[in-house]
Each structure stands twice: as structure tokens, then as C-alpha cells.
Amino acid sequence: MQNKTLLKEFEKGLPGAIYYLWSEESMFLEESLSKFSGAVLDPDNMDFNYDRFDSSSEPQEILNAASTLPFMAQRRLVVVKDFHQFK
């Protein structure tokens, strides 16, 4: 998916269930994640419905977070940075 298409989808508030974002530019990734978070989560409930992991996290911990129902919201967001480094 092109960057422009991705950002338009976020702005419409129609995010899909799973996205894999990759770029050599970390600034683009952080900007996209910020816009995505804003489209998916209510700022009042973000603390309860947002988890961020990286490649040092245990896979079971990530699966548990992804399996947890959202709290007082329709959605939750689970972000895994450096996913490509998992073996």
C-alpha cells in the first residue's frame, strides 16, 4: 500500500485488522503510527487499549495483548516494533 493511500485510510477512520508497516525512514513509521493511533483509539482510553512491544518481547506476551478485549472502547492497538527480527 502506498504511503498516501495508507494515510487517507487512517484519516477516514477505516483501519483494517492488521497492518505491517515497514520503511527505512523511522520518522515515517512514527508519523504513520501516530496517525493510526489517532484513527483507532479514543485518547481518553488509550492507556487501557494500547500496547507497544519490540523484538525483545516474548511472543506469548504479544499474543496475550492481541487477544485481550478492549476496555471501554471498540478497539485496542498492539504495536510490535522490529517484527522482522523475530525468529
* Tens digit of pLDDT at every position of the chain (87 positions): 566 777 777 677 666 778 788 888 888 888 888 887 887 888 888 899 999 999 899 999 999 999 999 999 888 999 999 887 877
Number of domains present in the structure of the chain: 1
Q: Which residues of 50-76 are buried (b: 16+ CB within 10 A; e: fewer)?
A: bbebeeebeeeebeebeeeebeebeeb
Query: Domain residues for 41?
Result: 3-85
- The amino acid at residue 24 is E
**Residues 74 and 47 sit within 8 Å (Cβ to Cβ):** no
- Predicted local confidence at residue 51, as pLDDT: 96
- Predicted local confidence at residue 57, as pLDDT: 94
**CATH number of 55's domain:** 3.40.50.300
Q: Within 10 A of 26 (CB to CB), how many other CB atoms are there?
A: 9
Q: What pTM did the predictor assign?
A: 0.78
- Predicted local confidence at residue 85, as pLDDT: 80
Calpha distance 57→86 (Å, rounded): 9
- Predicted local confidence at residue 14, as pLDDT: 63
